[in-house]
Structure 1
Amino acid sequence: MIAPADLEYCRGVIRTGSLSFHAASKLLPSQVRDPALALYAFCRLADDEVDEGIAKGQAVLQLQERLDLAYAGRPRNAPEDRAFAAIVDAFDMPRALPEALLEGLAWDAVERRYDSLSDVRAYSARVASAVGAMMCVLMRVRDADALARACDLGVAMQLTNIARDVGEDARAGRIYLPLDWLRGAELTPADFLNDPQATPQVRRMVARLLAEAHRLYIRSEAGIGKLPVQARAGIFAARYIYAAIGKSVRRHQHDSITRRARTTKAQKIALIGKAGVRAAGTIVLPQSPVLFAAPLNEVAFLVDAAAHRPDTDAPRRMDALFDVLAELKARESAAKRGIAAE
C-alpha cells in the first residue's frame, strides 16, 4: 500500500517530531501503525509549516492543493503526500476529516482567537479530533459511538497542549485561552501578550483547561473497547502519556508560563506498561454506558463524516472554510503587492 521508502521517511518524521505519539505507536499492530505513522507525518508537516513558517497563509493554501492532488490520485512528489494518497485510496478516507484539519490550520494562519471554551473545543476538534477520527478509519472503525469517544480524546489532548504551552504561545504572539476567561480576570489579550505572568488568575485558567481535559479523557476510555483488540494498548498509551503532561503542569502549580511540562522516557515506559494492563482488562470488563454519551456539539460533524452519516451542516461549514481561505489568499496577494512596491 505505502512504498517502503516513503513509510521509512514518515517513521523518521514522527521519531523526531512527535515523541509522545512515537512512543504510543509502538503498541499498535503493524497494519494500523504503518498507515498511522504516514497519517501523522502528513499532519505533522502541515502543522509545522503553518506553526513555524513565515508564510503561514501560503502554507495553508499549499496544503489545500496537496489535498486536492491526493484525492485526485496524483499526489505531490513527496514521501508524506504519496503515503497519504495511498491511505486515502486504501481506507476510503472521508475528505471532510482532513479538510477539518485544514480549516483549523487556516484559523491558526489568520491568528483567530476564541471567545469561549466551546470555541476552543471547536478549534481542538479540527486540529486534533479530526486526526482521532482518521485514526478510527485506519482501524476500520465506523461506529458512531466509538468515533465520538475518539473525538473526546482528541479534544482532551489539544486542551492539554494548550494548557502546557500558554507561556510559549504568548511569547510568540498567540493566545488560545478563552477570551471570556480573560475578561473575567480583567485582562485584555494585549496586556497578557505584552507581559505574560503566572498570576493566580492565569493559573486558574490553566487549571480549568486541564479539568475539562480530564473529563474528556475519562469519557474517551469507554470507546477504546470498541477498537480492534490489538490497537487498544496503543490508544491507552497515547491517552496516559498526554494526560501525564497535564499532571506535570499541575505539579508545578499550573505555571505554564515560566516552565514547559514534559514527560521523561522512564515515565513513558511506565505508562506504556500501564496501558498494556488496562487494554487487557477491556477484554473481560463489561461495556461502559458512557460509550453512548452524545458527542460534543463541536465534534458531531466529524462523527457524521467518519460514520458515513448525512451532514446537513456541511454546506455552511464549507462556506466558512472557503471564506477563511479567501481571506488568506487576499492577505497573500496584499503581501506580494507590498513586496513588489518596495
Structure 2
Amino acid sequence: MIAPADMEHCREAIRHGSLSFHAASKLLPAHVRDPALALYAFCRLADDEVDLKQDKVASVLRLRDRLDQVYAGRPKNAPTDRAFAAIVEEFEMPRALPDALLEGLAWDAAERRYDTLSGVKDYSARVASAVGAMMCVLMRVRDADALARACDLGVAMQLTNIARDVGEDALERRIYLPLDWLEEAGIEVEAFFADPEATKAVRGMVKRLVMEANRLYMRSEAGVGALPRGCRPGIYGARFIYAGIGSQLTRMGYDSISARARTNKWQKIGWLGQSMLLSGASMIMPKSSVLYARPLPEVQFLVDATAVGAPQSSRSDALISILSTLESRRQAQRAELTG
C-alpha cells in the first residue's frame, strides 16, 4: 500500500517528532500501526508547516493545495504526501476529516481566539478529534458511538496540550484559554502576554482544563472496547500517556508557565503495561452504557461525516470562507510588498 521508503520516512518523522504517539503506536498491530504512523507524519507535517513557519497564511494555503492534490490522486512528490495519498485510497478516507484539520490550522493562521470553553472544544475537534476519527477509519471502525468516544479522546488530548503550553503560547502571543475565564479573573490578554505569571487565577484555569480533559479521558474509555481487540492496547496507551501529562501538571500545582510538564521513559513503560492489562480485562467486561452517550456538540460534524453510510461531502462553506479570508490577506500582503 505505502512504498517502503516512504513508510520509513514516516516512521523516522514520528520517532523524532511525536514521542507520545510513537510510544503508544508500538502496541498497535502492524496492519494499523504503519498507516497510523503515515497519518500522524502527515498531520505532524501540517502542524509544523503552520506552527513553525513565519508566514502562516502561506503555509495553510500550501497545505490546501497539497490536500487537493492528494484527493485528486496526484500527490506532491514527497514521502508524506505519497503515503497519505495511499491511505486515502486504501481506506476511503472521508475528505471532511483532513479538511477539519486544515480548518483548525487556518484558525491558527488567522490568530483566532475563543470566547468560551465550547469555542476551545470547537478548535480541539478540528486539530485533534479529526485525527482520532481518521484513526478509527484506519481500524475499519465506522460505528457512530465508537467515533464519538474517539472524538472525546481527541478533545481531551488537545485540552491537555493547551493546559501544558500556556506559558510557551503566551511567549508567542497565542492564547487558547477561554477569554471569558480571563475576563472573570480580571486579566487583560495583552498584559498577560507582557508578563505571564502563574498566579492563582491562571493556575485555576489550567486546573479547569485538566479536570475537563480528565472527564473526557474517562468517557473515552468506553469506546476502546468497541475497537478491534488488537488495537485496544495502543489506544489505551495514548490515553494514559497524555493523561499522564495532566497528572504531572497537577503535581506541579497547575503551573505551566514556570516549567513544562514532562513525562519520562519509565512512566511511559508503566502506562503501556497498564494498557495491556486493561485491554485484556475489556474482553470480558460488559459494555459500559457510557459508550452510547451523545457526542459532544462540537464533534458531531465529524461523527456525521465518518459514520457508516455518511455521504461524501465537498469542502464545507466554513472552510471555504476562512481560506478565502486568508487568500485575500495573502494578496494584500503581496500588494503591500510590491507597492
**Cα separation, partners in 2 of 1:252 and 1:244, compared to 1, 3 Å:** same
Name the structure 2 match of 1:325. Answer: 323
Name the structure 2 match of 1:218. Answer: 218
Name the structure 2 match of 1:208. Answer: 208
Partner Cα separation in structure 2 for residue 52 and residue 260 of structure 1? 19
Letter of the 2:300 counterpart: A
Partner Cα separation in structure 2 for residue 103 and residue 38 of structure 1? 20
State whether structure 2 residue 189 is matched by structure 1 residue 193: no
Partner Cα separation in structure 2 for residue 69 and residue 98 of structure 1? 13
Q: Deviations over 1:184-239 (max 9, x none)?
A: 00111111111111000000000000010000000000000010100100000000
Letter of the 2:139 counterpart: M
Q: Deviations over 1:40-98 (max 9, x none)?
A: 00000000010110110111111111111111111000000000000000000000000
Name the structure 2 match of 1:114. Answer: 114
Partner Cα separation in structure 2 for residue 166 and residue 191 of structure 1? 14
Partner Cα separation in structure 2 for residue 62 and residue 186 of structure 1? 39
Q: Deviations over 1:94-147 (max 9, x none)?
A: 000000000000000000000000000000000000000000000000000000
Partner Cα separation in structure 1 for residue 193 and residue 245 of structure 2? 23
Q: Deviations over 1:19-60 (max 9, x none)?
A: 000000000000000000000000000000101101101111
Partner Cα separation in structure 2 for residue 215 and residue 32 of structure 1? 27
Name the structure 1 match of 2:336. Answer: 338
1:28 counterpart SS class: coil
Contact 2:160 2:243 in 1 (8 A): yes
Contact 2:49 2:59 in 1 (8 A): yes
TM-score w.r.t. the length of structure 1 is 0.97
State whether structure 2 residue 153 is matched by structure 1 residue 144: no
**Cα separation, partners in 2 of 1:310 and 1:37, compared to 1, 3 Å:** closer
Partner Cα separation in structure 1 for residue 86 and residue 316 of structure 2? 25
Partner Cα separation in structure 2 for residue 309 and residue 294 of structure 1? 19
Name the structure 2 match of 1:256. Answer: 256
CA offset at residue 309 of structure 1?
5.0
**What percentage of aligned pairs have identical amino acids?**
65
Letter of the 1:47 counterpart: D
Name the structure 2 match of 1:231. Answer: 231
TM-score w.r.t. the length of structure 2 is 0.98
Letter of the 2:334 counterpart: K
Letter of the 2:3 counterpart: A
**Misfit runs of 4+, over 3 Å:** 308-311
Name the structure 2 match of 1:279. Answer: 279
CA offset at residue 339 of structure 1?
2.0
CA offset at residue 308 of structure 1?
4.2
Letter of the 1:64 counterpart: R
2:316 counterpart SS class: helix
Name structure 1 gaps, 5 residues minimum.
none
CA offset at residue 323 of structure 1?
1.4
Partner Cα separation in structure 2 for residue 97 and residue 308 of structure 1? 14
Size of the alignment, in residue pairs? 339
